[in-house]
Amino acid sequence: MSILNINGIDLHYEVYGNETSRRTVFLLNGVMASTSSWYGLLECFEKLDMRVVLHDFMGQLKSAKPAGPYTFDQHISHLLQLSEHLKVDSFHLLGTSYGSEVAMKCAIEHPEKVLSLTVIDGVSQVDEVMRAFLESWKKLCDNEDPYDFFWGMAPSIYGNDFIKKNQEFLEKRAISMRKVDRSYFEGQKTLYDTFLKEVNFTKRLHEIQCPTQVIVGEEDILKPVKFSRIIANNIDNSEFYVLPNCGHVTIFEKPEELKTLISGFYLKQRS
C-alpha cells in the first residue's frame, strides 16, 4: 500500500501479483468502493500471471478529497501518472460502475495506452432514474450517518436474492461503514456530481478500438441492462454478457462467474 502525490493530491494505490509481468491490469473502483472491494478477485489475475494495480480515485475513501467539481480527465490524468510512476507503458483496464465509465473515457482519449477494456455495470449516458438515485444518496450523505447511509443505498445496488441470502455479510459492511468520517460523505457527493456531469459519451463509443468485454447484472436497477447493450452495440467486436439473478454489484454477487468471464477474455487475447 503506497501513496503517490500528484500536484498536491495524495492517491492511495496497491500493487499485487507478478511485479515483473509484462501484463498489467488496472482495476477501477465503483463510486462508493475502495481498493478492498477487489481483493476477492486478485487470485484470478495471479493465475493469469498479471500484475494488478488498484487505487482509490480522488474523493474516495483512502485518497485525498479536494474540493470539487472533478472531471474524468483528471481521473485519467492521475491513472496515467500512476502508470508512468510504475513504469507501465500500456495496460488492460477493468472497471465496475463509476470505474468502468472512467475506463471507457480513457480508452476513447488514449487508445495507445489501453490494450483491452472490461466494462462491468457501466453506462455511457444518464437517465432521470439514475439521477434520482444519486440525488437521494446525496441526502443520505448530508445526514452523515454511515450505517443508515449503507442501508439506505443498498436496495438500489444489490439484487433481491443476494440481499435475502447475505444479511449477515451486508450487516457487517454496514457496521464497518461506521469507521468513515465526514470527509467520506463530502467526497461521495462530489463524485456523484462528477458522474452526472461527465457521463455523456455514447456518441464517442465507436472510437474504442481495443478488445472490449461488457458485463451486466440482469437485475441491475441502478444501471439496467439496456445501457450495457448500448455500450456493446456501439463498440465494434465487443463481447456482451448478462449475468442472471444479479444486481449492480457484480463483483460481490457473482465473483466466480466473473472470474470465468475475465479469465476467458484475457486468455483469448493471449492466444
Confidence (pLDDT) at 119: 98
Summarised one tens digit per residue, pLDDT across range 88-109 is 999 999 999 999 999 999 999 9
**The pLDDT of residue 237:** 86
Asked if 121 and 94 count as a contact pair (C-beta separation under 8 A), the reply is: no
pLDDT at 147: 97
pTM: 0.97
Q: Which domains does the chain have, with CATH numbers?
A: 2-125+200-270 (3.40.50.1820)
Are residues 38 and 58 in contact, defined by beta-carbon separation less than 8 angstroms? no
Q: Is the pLDDT of residue 271 over 80?
A: no
Helix (H, G, I), strand (E, B) or coil at 19: coil
Output the nine-digit C-alpha cell for 246.
444479479
C-alpha cell read off for 146: 454511515
pLDDT of residue 227: 98
**Structure confidence at residue 248 as a pLDDT band (50, 70, 90):** very high
Distances (CA, A) of 132 to 56, 59, 99, 228: 25, 21, 20, 19
Return d(Cα 38, Cα 100) in angstroms, integer: 14
What average pLDDT is seen over the chain? 96
Distance between CA atoms of residues 76 and 95, nearest Å: 13
Share of the chain above pLDDT 70, in %: 100
Query: Which SS3 state, helix, strand or coil, does residue 122 take?
Result: coil
Q: Is the pLDDT of residue 1 over 80?
A: no
pLDDT of res. 270: 86
List pLDDT tens digits, range 6-51.
999 999 999 999 888 889 999 999 999 999 999 999 999 999 999 9
pLDDT in tens, 57-90: 999 999 999 998 899 999 999 999 999 999 999 9
- Three-class SS state of 157: helix
- Which contiguous run of DSSP H or E holds residue 149? helix 146-157
For residue range 249-267, what is the model confidence (pLDDT) as tens digits? Answer: 999 999 999 999 999 999 9
pLDDT in tens, 158-206: 999 999 999 999 999 999 999 999 999 999 999 999 999 999 999 999 9
Interacting residues of 123 by C-beta distance below 8 A, sequence separation 6+: 101, 130, 199, 223, 227, 228, 230, 231
- The angle, 0 to 180 degrees and rounded to 10, between the axes of the packed helices 182-198 and 98-109 is 50
